[in-house]
Chains A and B, each alone.
Chain A
Amino acid sequence: MRQLWRQVDELLRGKSLYEGEATLAKLRPGQLLLVAMALGAVYGFFMGWYGLFSRPAPEYRQVLACMVKVPALFLLTLFICYPSLYVFSTMLGSRLSFTGTLVLLIGIVTLSIIVLVSFGPIVAFFAVSTENYYFMKLLNVAFFAVAGALGVGALLKALQALVGSAPPAEAPPSTPNVPPALTRPEDRFAPARKVKQVFQIWIVIYALVGAQMGWILRPFLGKPSLTFTWFRTRQANFFVDVFHSFLNLFS
């Protein structure tokens, strides 16, 4: 238990992620997965409170569904996006192995979930006091977005540490005769910057998959006027729905 907590603590402080392969190898992916699932269930528990307080009769199954679905959302997204991250990061010059990339990604997802679960009390408070379904939905989308963004930011930092630690191939030209136009293309492929540029594509993929995963796992909150179901039929998509929530906020 104590060791588990130390892992989480080190993860949170960025000790184990930003310092290259050696520290990354010390992470225990199995333990981290366990922590991530448990904390995801905690957030799901708070999220499910909306199902208890918004309906005439409390729907306990909604709490249970959320506790399963929030960890599932993160884990399924992780496994879908993992191969593409491996390919991208290897092409960029990361020296991580196939399993090493998985460990890194598990660390990142755990970090996201820790950020998310720290918003748990706030979500619970709003779930108890708010009846407006669309407000709750947007609030949760915002919290998931913040958690995801911080996780992705940490991943970027970790990748830059892995790739950018190599010294630049050539010393920058010191002669004033060289026109700046010649040096610029060289600059554009500086490792750190290249990581960022290519990595942006992966971020878009990750966000899209995550959003769509959340969509097929719905309902999380459960619209009070509808009866409880474990899953809904397929219609529209995540982005259309968030847009409609904005429009419906005041109706």
Chain B
Amino acid sequence: MTPLLLTIDQMLRAEGLFRAAAGPVSMSIRQRVRTQLWVIAACGMVYGACMGSFGGVFGDGWRQMLVSAAKVPLLFTVAFLLCVPSFYVLNAVAGLHQDFPRTLDALFGFQSIAAIVLAAAAPITAFMNLTTSHYPFILLWNGLLFFVASLAGHFMMRRYYEPLVRRHPRHATLRRVWMLLYTFVGIQMAWVLRPFVGSPGMPVQFFRAEAWGNAYIEVLQLVLNAFGFTPNS
């Protein structure tokens, strides 16, 4: 427990093992990535469990907690795996392939910071779950938290990218490309992995049969409906 907390502390301060320094990649890069993966898994699970506690802990509720705890790390890693090949090719085309180990380190840094921020907010979410029974509010709250977490992640990622950008200004563009790509895939991934919170009145499931669908289409349709456009079929 203590080593994990120490690691998180180092990560947040960008000190020790996680010093975002210039210069050649140190030998510890593999060690760094391994720790980052552990942090993503642990923090994601903590948040997922709190997120899934909306239906209560007793009765069937604990199952939703387990399911959500598994899903949050899954959301991060699967979206990451889907995006990495194209990001590598884009880096190589831009002539930045020799920096890719450091770039990868920054990408993991983004995810671990986002996971840490989520885990830090987990008690608040649990408290909200306890005190509210309004389902749309909880959905909105979680969406907001994920947004804040990814903002924090991008802030940290920018720090990791500083030495890279100093070496080549094109890295700044690629960082934005990554943000776009990862968000685009991540939103759809979150949609597919529903339910995270578990709508009251619905049975606990790992996947929803009707969950397949496209997040962007559905959300834009909601917006269009809200403005009085009726879909023409």
Q: Are A129 and B95 in contact (CB under 8 A)?
A: no
Query: CB within 8 Å of A: which of B209-230?
Result: 212-214, 216-217, 220-221, 224, 229
**Other-chain residue from B81, B89, B224, B231 in contact with A115 (beta carbon distance below 8 A):** B89
* CB-CB under 8 A for A119 and B216, given A13-B92, A150-B93: no
| A183 contacts B by Cβ under 8 Å | no
Contact with B along A127-157 (1 / 0, CB 8 A): 0111110010000000000000010001000
* CB-CB under 8 A for A122 and B93, given A129-B214, A135-B217, A250-B231: no
* CB-CB under 8 A for A114 and B188, given A129-B212, A130-B213: no
| B165 contacts A by Cβ under 8 Å | no
**Other-chain residue from B81, B93, B220, B233 in contact with A12 (beta carbon distance below 8 A):** B93
* CB-CB under 8 A for A13 and B214, given A118-B89, A125-B188, A129-B188: no
Interface residue tally for chain A (C-beta within 8 Å): 24
- What's the Cα separation between A60 and B143 when bound, in Å? 38
- What's the Cα separation between A111 and B89 when bound, in Å? 10
Interface residue tally for chain B (C-beta within 8 Å): 30
- What's the Cα separation between A132 and B214 when bound, in Å? 7
Q: Are B89 and A114 in contact (CB under 8 A)?
A: yes
Q: Are A132 and B217 in contact (CB under 8 A)?
A: yes
- What's the Cα separation between A125 and B191 when bound, in Å? 12
Find chain A residues with CB under 8 A from B185 CB.
122, 125
Find chain B residues with CB under 8 A from A130 CB.
188, 212-214, 217
- What's the Cα separation between A111 and B188 when bound, in Å? 28
| A14 contacts B by Cβ under 8 Å | yes
Find chain A residues with CB under 8 A from B220 CB.
249-250
Find chain B residues with CB under 8 A from A120 CB.
85
Nearest A residue to B89, CB-CB: A118
- What's the Cα separation between A115 and B88 when bound, in Å? 9
Q: Are B90 and A126 in contact (CB under 8 A)?
A: no
Determine which residue in A12, A131, A154 has the highest number of CB atoms from chain B within 10 A of its CB, and name it: A12
Contact with B along A105-120 (1 / 0, CB 8 A): 0000001001100111
Determine which residue in B89, B192, B213, B229 has the highest number of CB atoms from chain A within 10 A of its CB, and name it: B89
Nearest B residue to A249, CB-CB: B217
Q: Are A250 and B217 in contact (CB under 8 A)?
A: yes
* CB-CB under 8 A for A118 and B85, given A131-B212, A251-B233: yes
Query: CB within 8 Å of A: which of B86-111?
Result: 86, 88-90, 92-93, 95, 97
Contact with A along B53-94 (1 / 0, CB 8 A): 000000000000000000000000000011101101110110
- What's the Cα separation between A120 and B216 when bound, in Å? 20
Find chain A residues with CB under 8 A from B85 CB.
118-121
Find chain B residues with CB under 8 A from A125 CB.
82, 185, 188-189
**Other-chain residue from B81, B88, B214 in contact with A118 (beta carbon distance below 8 A):** B88
Nearest A residue to B189, CB-CB: A125
Nearest A residue to B81, CB-CB: A121
- What's the Cα separation between A121 and B97 when bound, in Å? 20
- What's the Cα separation between A12 and B97 when bound, in Å? 9
Q: List chain A positions with a Cβ less than 8 A from chain B.
A: 12-14, 111, 114-115, 118-122, 125-126, 128-132, 135, 150, 154, 249-251
**Could you show 7 A-B contacts with beta carbons less than 8 Å apart?**
A12-B89, A114-B89, A115-B86, A150-B90, A249-B217, A249-B220, A250-B229
- 12 extra interchain contacts, Cβ-Cβ under 8 A, other than A125-B82, A125-B185, A135-B217? A12-B97, A14-B93, A119-B86, A122-B86, A122-B185, A125-B189, A126-B188, A130-B212, A135-B214, A250-B217, A250-B221, A250-B224
